Structure 1
Amino acid sequence: MKKILLSALVLFLGIAVNAQEREWTLEEAVAYALENNISIKQSQLEVDLADIDRSEAVGNFLPRLNASASNSWNTGLTQNVTTGILQTQTTRNFSAGVTASMNLSAGLNNWKQLQLARMAQLASEYSLEQMKDDIALFVANAYLQVLFNKESLKVIQAQHEITLEQLQRVQELVEAGSLPRGDLLEIKATAANEEQRMIVAANNVKVSLIALAQTLLIKDYENFDIAERDYEIFGSELLEMPVSEVIDNAEEERYEVKVAEANLEMAKKETEIAKGAYWPRLGAFFNYNT
């Protein structure tokens, strides 16, 4: 029993240590955000709703069909027409009907409604991709802010170590009478100022880590940390491109532009649909009962 408890304790501690030692890379942080971000999930729901609207627009081309049926049994005294005697009889009544209707004049309007639904579907997909780009950029900026704050803290710590070494040498020289005591006080003030800067820098690291963890919707932000590694810088060729080419590429590739263009086309199509209300309506109707 003791061996089992000891093994369970070792396993638990191993899991806890591994959980605390995990360091998130930039790729992991962005991928996690794209999978769990609430705004992205909302945009995905809008895409799903747009798919439903498109299916409804396709259904508008189909005729309206209604069917009905009824069946009844009646039991009671009925006079026999042959003998004239009242007799108990059971009678059955059954009826059925089919009704079909279709708005013939709405064919063009339905086609425009289908085009509008397809545009809305495309716009929602563009909006989803734009949201993914925005979230990825936001997470990347927050991640880089943590890296920047950590590097700033390292620089201050390295400078403080040099200052402490200088403080030791100056103190020895002051005690030997080679330097005035004012030099010692001055370097002590410098060391104290660096300690204050280290506290501020360490706090900036913690705050930026918490901000990144909250962006990723991670609750255990106390044990949250990122991997410090060298990242290759891409896009240097972009600096060599002409400004006009950069703008043209942005107009073709950026989802913000695609969303705006899709919304403009949707507005034009909605105007066409609204103008269609001025035309008279023509319908067909069929009814059969038995």
Structure 2
Amino acid sequence: MDTEAVRSFVRAAELGQLRHAADELGVTQQAVSKRVAALERELEVRLFTRSARGVELTLDGQAFLPHARSIVAGADRAVSAVRPGSRALRIDVLGLRSAQAVVLHDYWRSHPGTDLDVVTLRVDDPTEVAAAVQAGDVDAAFRSVTDPAALPPDVRMVHAFDSPLELLVGPRHPLASARTLTPSQLRERRIWVPGIVPRSEWADFYDQLATDFDLRIDAAGPNFGDEVLLDALAASADVATLVGARDRYLWPTSHGLRRIPIVDPVLAYPLSLMFPRTSPHPGLRAVVDHLASLAPLPGTVWRPSWAPAPRHARRSH
């Protein structure tokens, strides 16, 4: 059923004149007349009687009018639900405990009126996430496509912020008492990072990190989740892992785990934001401005070669 024909019928019924309905809808009187006639043919009933004074509802028209109003209202709600600016801003984060989610939550707390929908696409390949942005499944995503040639031309990727890495160890680990660590102190140490997925951005990140600093990144074994990893660290005297400084991890007090910053240089995991080049969601600008206002990391910072360079960033390899 043509919703514009139904809309024309409703306004003509309420105003009593096809001409007045046409003026309000921004079409010709002939267009309204044709729409109503087509609707009558579809329903196989007469909706109006016409006279010199205008139009009056028939009994069938009176019975149809309340349902027609519901159809028009439902169509308007459907359009509003997907129109940028009328619906919530949908942003993909890697996980609800990730640094991306933490920073986005900080933004929302400072802008409590923001209509925000935080989602987690169950996708590891960033090119698939870029395709979701391109298709409009999400308005933006905190992901990085490490090969510029693989980024769709109508999707823009900008630097969001850097997440400095920390070494997470159990209380019996030889480095547990250190206040800070340098990358050279991590050589020959087993750094267990389960869940490094081929073609993921973090696979590219850890490959370059291991090469540049001669680190032993161990991705062996299945990823059974954070809880299993934290239990293993608490029980081990030689296993460590790397976590982002803003990432949220929770463990029992009895585990006694230690988070140790890495400095000289700071090892930064770069977070990017992807969004459409044209007609982005109106609410996205304030988020991008918030990200741009975040303070840069102090000191010398290492970032992978594929990362979009932020303003004032200092690079070291």
Larger radius of gyration: 1
Task: Please state which structure has a larger fraction of its residues in strand.
Answer: 2
Superposition TM-score, scaled by structure 1 size:
0.26
